[in-house]
Amino acid sequence: MIKHIETCFSPMLFQLFEKQGRLIVVADIFRATSSICAAFGNGAKEIIAVSEKSECLKYKEKGYIVAGEREGKILDYADMGNSPDDFLTPEIKGKSIVLNTTNGTRTIRIASEYNNPVVIGAFINLGALTEYIIKENKHVLIFCSGWKDHFSLEDSLFAGALANEILIKSNDRYYTKCDATHAAMDIWKAAKNNPRKYIDKAAHRSRLKYMKLDNVIDYCMKISTVNVIPVLKNNRLINSNETLIN
């Protein structure tokens, strides 16, 4: 059966979507899902994504490495922030990391509530992710984290890039009649010659710049630099592509 691609632009809209038989792809390009992919590319063992600060604190007390931010600022009790750079150090290899962010980890929690397969998407794992999705052969729901329930340009741009790749590479095994996916692909079409330049107008890019954290933009906008497939298993993210770590 030919499979459908849909896009949800905000956690507020997620309740409206059919979940049955969907593979959910969570995206938070600046920065949570790019950082998760970076961590697995660097050999992290697992990431426990929590949505509440109190839960995060409990893990910290048990001795876990804790990464996290609110509004972009590192949490006072965290060992590190939520920049891909934080996850590219040797200390990350083989470790379990607890992650708590403003939007991204909340989206992962919402996605986990329906017993659907959940996979993490970013520009940096776009190629590996596209192959994985086509192999899984399930309907796809791309779930953009946005910013505090608002539409975000970077996540929507990614949704368009991913939908476009799936449609091109799947030999007509996928289609879309979802307006949000068509809109996302139109954004991608406008940006694809220079996505890095296009994303300069994104609101979260400005927020990160204000906090002097925008040095990560280049890293997050690179395409297919890591061959990782972070998937949710028993509420923990693991890399289902361990043999292909760069």
| Contact status: 82 vs ligand MLT (CB under 6 A) | yes
**183 dihedral zone (left: phi>0; alpha: psi -120 to 50; beta):** alpha
| CB-nearer residue toward ligand MLT: 6 or 69 | 69
30 binds ligand MLT (CB under 6 A): yes
Mark 101-120 with x for binding to ligand MLT (rule: CB under 6 A) and - for no binding: xxxx----------------
Q: Give min distance, CB of 23 to ligand MLT, in A.
A: 21
Residue type, 216: V
CA of 245: how far to CAs of 131, 227, 239, in Å? 15, 6, 9
Binding region for ligand MLT (CB under 6 A) out of 36-44, 53-61, 96-104, 232-240: 96-104
Query: Using an 8 Å Cβ cutoff, are 120 and 65 in contact?
Result: no
- The yes or no reply on residue 28 touching ligand MLT (CB under 6 A) is yes
CB count, 10 Å around CB of 211? 14
Contact 143, 27 (CB under 8 A): yes
CA 17 to CA 31: how far, in whole Å? Answer: 25
Of 32, 92, 122, 126, the residue at the interface with ligand MLT (CB under 6 A) is: 32
Please state, in angstroms and rounded to a whole number, the distance separating the CA atoms of residues 84 and 219.
8
* CB count in 10 Å sphere of residue 190: 12
31: contact with ligand MLT by CB under 6 A:
yes
Span from 23-31, 50-58, 117-125, 232-240 in contact with ligand MLT (CB under 6 A)? 23-31
* Smallest gap from residue 80 Cβ to ligand MLT (A): 11
164 near ligand MLT, judged by CB under 6 A: no
Cis before 31? omega within 30:
yes
| Amino acid present at 40 | F
Locus of tokens 């660097």: 42
The reply on whether position 156 binds ligand MLT by CB under 6 A is no
Rounded to the nearest whole angstrom, what is the least distance from the CB of residue 121 to ligand MLT in the complex? 13
Please say which residue, 32 or 237, places its beta carbon nearer to ligand MLT.
32
Burial class (CB in 10 A: 0-12, 13-18, 19+), 85: middle
Asked if residue 69 binds ligand MLT (CB under 6 A), the reply is: yes
Among candidate residues 198, 241, 196, 238, the one with its CA nearest the CA of residue 220: 196
Q: Which is nearer to ligand MLT, 3 or 86 (CB)?
A: 86
Q: How far is the CB of 50 from ligand MLT (least distance, A)?
A: 12
Question: Is 72 one of the binding residues for ligand MLT (CB under 6 A)?
Answer: yes
Summarize as ranges the residues that interact with ligand MLT (CB under 6 A).
28, 30-32, 69, 72, 82, 101-104
